[in-house]
Amino acid sequence: MWAWRATGRARRWLLPWALALGLLLNAAYPMYRHYDFSHSLDTRSYLRLASGRFDSVNVTRRYRLLVPLAAGALARPLASLPAPASQPRPAGEWPLRLAFYLFNCGLLGAAGACFYRSARLAGASAGAAAGALAAVLSSRWAGYAAGLPLTDSLYLLVFGLGYYATRRGRGAGWAVVVALLVGPLAKESFVFLLPWLAWFGRRALGWRGQAAALALGVAALVAVHVWVDKTAGTAPGASVTNALAHIENLTYSLQKSFSPKGLAELFSIFGLFWLPVLMALARPAGRRALAPVLGWPEAGLLAVVAVHMLLSGDLGRMGYLLAPAFTAALALSIGWVRGVVAGTGRPSWER
């Protein structure tokens, strides 16, 4: 009985992960293969981190070590393989870039499995959830996060785990634990997600358990800061000063948000896949179909993402952090639209 349950649980996670991984490996390959790294400070910084060089990396990115170090470890066996023919990359660098591509596709695929499971828990059918997942992973920001030497994939996984835990409740304590352990090391702005996760994740894991997991995550973060600062010869307070400097982005981000360019960037996060959701929101029956994802957890997550967007100034890239909730909303919208087209006035999964 236990083995049967374990097999079923693995299947529920492995199948959406395999779907997401297959989509990402194809969609992100052109980004990995042809991206011009000469104008991207972020990617060059993470390549340096993966090589163990901390002193030449901006303090904003210097402590996000999990993905770069994992990619660096994966690059070592890859370096023994023959170099690809007509390789446009600098000599000796292709194993690192390939390692980032493979590792980020795997991580973002895991995040996609969380998106899919959350949509199913919201009431979407398997087909609608899979279609919504494919749509969300078709975003240019998914290809960007999966194909380049970046750490966005890990942070998206943290958001995916957190949203899954809020939907699942009891039985998803492990997701909260992983998010709290990894979140502080994934990105400094995790501090803005933390109150949301503590409140809406309490059904999955009580506050005592959350406090214990967070203590371990913060301890790991402190250890990383001490090690990196000592290795790079950086003043301990430099990261705090750098974090406060991001407040200067608020005015720029607000002005950009209401400009034609900013609105186009916001629309391009999910592109035309906004339309089914907007159609559902415009109709009373559609709003009833979307009711499971129109609650306080989603409103709170939207506020957290908005803070990330305002502080970073990168509206599209940070806006993609809404992907877990948007996948569920899109899946429910697809079900409602199918019901309307079929003439029932109800989502197909309610018939």
Ramachandran assignment for 89, one of left (phi > 0), alpha (psi -120 to 50 degrees), beta (any other) = beta
In the chain (351 residues long), the average pLDDT of successive 10-residue segments reads: 55 91 94 79 84 75 89 87 63 82 96 97 94 96 93 96 95 95 93 95 94 96 87 61 55 70 87 94 92 94 93 86 97 88 57 46
Return the sign of the alpha-carbon dihedral for residues 77, 80, 85, 91.
Answer: positive
Identity of the amino acid at 261: K
Q: What is the pLDDT of residue 348?
A: 47
For CA atoms 89, 95, 97, 102, the dihedral sign is: positive
- CA–chain centroid gap for 292, Å, is 22
How much is the pLDDT for 123? 94
Query: Two tokens at 112?
Result: 């996609």
3-state helix, strand, coil in the chain (%, to 5): 75, 0, 25
Q: What one-letter code names the amino acid at 222?
A: V
Contact predicate 120/349, CB 8 Å: no
Query: How does 205-237 read in b/e, with b if 16+ C-beta sit within 10 Å?
Result: beeebbeebbeebeeebeebbeebbeeeebeee
Q: State in Å, rounded, how far the first CA of the chain is from the last one.
A: 32
- How many whole angstroms separate alpha carbon 343 and alpha carbon 32? 44
**pLDDT score at 45:** 85
Place of tokens 């309490």: 202
Rounded to a whole number of angstroms, the CA Rg of the chain reads 21
Cβ–Cβ < 8 Å for 114, 157: yes
Predicted pLDDT of residue 218: 95
Rounded Cα gap, residues 227 and 90, in angstroms:
29
pLDDT at 322: 96
User: How is 91-140 classified by DSSP, letter by letter?
Assistant: TTTHHHHHHHHHHHHHHHHHHHHHHHHHHHHTT--HHHHHHHHHHHHTSH
> For residue 213, what is the DSSP state?
H
For tokens 């349950």, the residue is 5
CA–CA dist 331, 42 (Å, integer): 33
Quote the CA–CA distance of 139 and 159 in Å, as a whole number. Answer: 17
Residues 121, 26: Cα–Cα separation, whole Å: 28
- For residue 313, what are its two tokens? 């100034």
Instruction: Taking the CA atoms of 320, 308, 266 and 248 in sequence, report the sign of the dihedral they define.
Output: negative
Q: Which of 33, 54, 36 is nearest to 45 (CA)?
A: 54
